[in-house]
Chain A
Amino acid sequence: MDQGVDWRRNKAGFLAVLTPPLGWLLLFFIVPMAVVWAYSFGTNEGIADIRISGTFANYARAIEPLYLGILAKSLAFAALATLVCLVVGFPVALAISFAPANLKTWLLIGVMLPFWTNLLIRTYALIALLRDEGIINNALGFAFGWAGFEPLRMMNTNFAVLVGLVYVHLPFMVLPLYAALDRLDRSLLEASLDLGAGHIRTIFAIVLPLAAPGIASGLLLTFIPVLGSYLAPDLLGGADSQMIANVIERQFKRANDWPFGAALAFMLMYLTFIGIALQSLARRKRERE
């Protein structure tokens, strides 16, 4: 018994440990998702009833040019926000991984701290910063008012949505990057510097390739929630900041068209599955090489 617990011999113990999380997953994730998935093949009947009729009409409507266009725009916008997260998050993760051990803990807490505040509150804080007569514009006006300063138009633009999405999702990028960079073999960096490569070259030739799996999971971990965001476009966006998640939200609320909302939501799910499958294929290919 010294070599630990073998699940083949100790099935009861293994089951006891595994059942609660599996049950939880089944009851509160798989079952609700299955219900929504079933709705996506449903038909609205009368004022408030949905019949699961097996129709593909909701999907047919979801791939009309109108909704595909919104989806394409959302994908592009989410990709941009994810890219900004990477560019901003990489130096942060690098700095944390090279920080002294006691400071590291505090820096990591600093990265995670915003999660302790409700998303809505954080978004309203951004509104207070960005609006025409908000904190940034008032401060600039105070400093440059003598030069005829005009308030910057930041609120209710796609720029504000981008700021909101990057601000909220940055930790999703920084944490996996940090995990990858922290495991990096430092002797490789020293070797690179010893052999005459500069710091920049070392980062691009040594650090980036070694951190690639971390970057990939950071990109995926950021991109998916960004694509599903609706609060930032709703509250920070302007007249044309609509993203696919806003359209989905409205199907479940105002339009009261749950089957169509479910079909749109599962379009995103299918895309997500494809994304994850592609990533694991790429990883397998890497491992084989």
Chain B
Amino acid sequence: MAELEGAAHWKGLSQSRLSRRGLLASLGVAAVGFTLQACGQGSGGKGGGAGDKINFYTWDTYIGETTLADFEAANGIKVQTSYFATNDELFAKLKAGNPGYDVIVPSNEFVTRMRLADMLEPLDMAKLPNFKNIAPEFKEADYDAPPPRHSVPYTWLVIGIGYRKSRVNGTPDSWKWLFDSDLYKGRIALTSEAADLIRLGAKYLGKSLNNVDADTAKAVEDMLIRQKPNIKAFHEDNGQDMLLAGDVDLVLETNGDIAQIAVEDPDIGFVVPKEGSLLNADTLCIPKGAPRPEQAHKFINFLLDAEAGKHIIETILYPTPNAAAKLLMPESYRANPIIFPGGQGMDASEWGKFEGPEQARAFEEAITRVRAA
């Protein structure tokens, strides 16, 4: 029995548990533009037809295994991919002027931020007929307002509590168990994302997670300082790894990351706490100065296709806003309570708004105080 358990842990250790955001970020990979520059030079011409290529700037391990080859076979356009590890990296790279990217994948709050900084092209929806595949609740988006649309949703995520079923009492369906209770002392990992902590703390205190005022932020800070002795670690987006390995029994994580480990360990559960949580989306956009907007629209439209969408989800196992692609997926995905959580918590959840750099810095300093306390 002990041997079997040991083998399971080895399996967990040998397989990379780093998520797409974690791996590149921790390796500090920044200089990913080289391939792009080397390959982009030959195709200065803007003519259509065969031999075209576009530059796609996205997260690592975030597309179907054959998606790019399928697109090239169907449209004769080669897709040259480079990767970024954080939204900040994407933003910094494009801030200095678009070096030649045609399609990028920013998260929802960065869509707002990049629109404010006039870094995105409006999308020509007439060239994106497959937008009809997107589920109704994702067709309108506060983060991409007012019209015209500058983004289409690619995946979405919700933050919640990942937990080990055999080690908790019932379902830990409140933020209380992470933020305001010593019941699970030393078995809790929170994220090190300052804004997420303050916002979800505000949610627990019955406030909206948007427009958090200074008093609420202070109250959350004080609560977290009180809770700190019960917290084992602030994880670097590797919370699912800690949960799978048995380091902790409750972890603040996204449903996508927990879904990936739940496949391996049936003892893993996920719940969106009843007070509500934070919704995120990653989107497809065309940055200002994209050299080949025509082909970029073709590519985005292809990614919104039901069959192509299915191939993508099969690989990355994230929740999809693409209703037509979801229909093609097996029951085990469509009815997966981790990938598509429901109930009171989901109903009370909100999209985060971009609230400016000052707010981000204030949150960061509050969490620095918590960790220094």
A-side residues, CB < 8 A to B, are 44, 46-48, 66, 69-70, 73, 118, 120, 128, 131-134, 138, 141-142, 145, 153, 155-156, 231, 234-235, 237-240, 242, 247, 250-251, 253-257, 260
Q: Is B288 an interface residue, CB under 8 A from the partner?
A: no
Chain A residues whose C-beta falls within 8 Å of the C-beta of B373 in the assembled complex: 240
Residue of B nearest to A231 (CB): B26
Quote the shortest CB–CB distance from A43 to chain B (angstroms).
12
Which of the candidate stretches B142-150, B212-220, B327-335, B363-371 sits at the interface with the other chain? Answer: B363-371
Q: Which of B315-373 contact A (CB under 8 A)?
A: 356-357, 360-361, 364-365, 368-369, 371-373
Quote the shortest CB–CB distance from A132 to chain B (angstroms).
6
Complex: A186 Cα to B120 Cα, angstroms: 72
* 28 A-B contact pairs sorted by A residue (CB < 8 Å): A46-B117, A47-B356, A47-B357, A48-B92, A66-B369, A66-B372, A132-B246, A133-B247, A134-B9, A142-B2, A156-B233, A234-B192, A235-B238, A238-B232, A239-B233, A240-B373, A242-B371, A242-B372, A250-B194, A251-B364, A254-B193, A254-B194, A254-B195, A255-B365, A256-B88, A256-B361, A257-B364, A260-B361
Chain A residues whose C-beta falls within 8 Å of the C-beta of B186 in the assembled complex: 153
Asked if B368 contacts A250 (CB within 8 A), the reply is yes
Asked if B247 contacts A48 (CB within 8 A), the reply is no
Quote the shortest CB–CB distance from A36 to chain B (angstroms).
15
Asked if B9 contacts A133 (CB within 8 A), the reply is yes
Complex: A100 Cα to B161 Cα, angstroms: 58
Chain A proximity mask over B128-165: 1 for CB below 8 Å, otherwise 0: 00000000000000000000000000000000000000
Chain A residues whose C-beta falls within 8 Å of the C-beta of B194 in the assembled complex: 250, 254-255
Quote the shortest CB–CB distance from B257 to chain A (angstroms).
17
Complex: A145 Cα to B6 Cα, angstroms: 14
Chain B residues whose C-beta falls within 8 Å of the C-beta of A44 in the assembled complex: 357
Residue of A nearest to B246 (CB): A133
Residue of A nearest to B358 (CB): A44
Quote the shortest CB–CB distance from B199 to chain A (angstroms).
14
Chain A proximity mask over B225-269: 1 for CB below 8 Å, otherwise 0: 000110111101010000001110000000000000000000000
Quote the shortest CB–CB distance from A18 to chain B (angstroms).
29
Chain A residues whose C-beta falls within 8 Å of the C-beta of B234 in the assembled complex: 239
Complex: A254 Cα to B356 Cα, angstroms: 13
B-side residues, CB < 8 A to A, are 2, 6, 9, 13, 26-27, 86, 88, 91-92, 95, 113, 116-117, 186, 192-195, 228-229, 231-234, 236, 238, 245-247, 356-357, 360-361, 364-365, 368-369, 371-373
Asked if A131 contacts B245 (CB within 8 A), the reply is yes
Chain A residues whose C-beta falls within 8 Å of the C-beta of B233 in the assembled complex: 156, 237-239
Asked if A156 contacts B247 (CB within 8 A), the reply is yes
The contact of A253 among B88, B117, B195, B368, by CB within 8 Å, is: B88
Complex: A70 Cα to B372 Cα, angstroms: 7
Quote the shortest CB–CB distance from B3 to chain A (angstroms).
9
Residue of A nearest to B186 (CB): A153
Asked if B245 contacts A240 (CB within 8 A), the reply is no
Complex: A251 Cα to B233 Cα, angstroms: 20
Asked if B368 contacts A66 (CB within 8 A), the reply is yes
Chain B residues whose C-beta falls within 8 Å of the C-beta of A118 in the assembled complex: 27
Given A155-B247, A250-B368, A255–B236 Cβ distance below 8 Å? Answer: no
Max chain A Cβ within 10 angstroms of own Cβ: one of B27, B361, B371: B371
Max chain B Cβ within 10 angstroms of own Cβ: one of A120, A247, A250, A254: A254
Asked if B371 contacts A257 (CB within 8 A), the reply is no
Complex: A12 Cα to B194 Cα, angstroms: 57
Asked if A254 contacts B88 (CB within 8 A), the reply is yes
Complex: A69 Cα to B368 Cα, angstroms: 11
Asked if A235 contacts B236 (CB within 8 A), the reply is yes
Asked if A240 contacts B232 (CB within 8 A), the reply is no
Complex: A42 Cα to B195 Cα, angstroms: 24
Quote the shortest CB–CB distance from A236 to chain B (angstroms).
9
Given A120-B27, A138-B6, A254–B360 Cβ distance below 8 Å? Answer: yes
Complex: A141 Cα to B365 Cα, angstroms: 42
Quote the shortest CB–CB distance from B99 to chain A (angstroms).
16
Q: With contacts A47-B117, A66-B368, A141-B2 known, what are 10 further pairs, Cβ within 8 A?
A: A47-B113, A66-B365, A133-B246, A138-B6, A145-B2, A237-B233, A240-B372, A250-B192, A250-B368, A255-B361
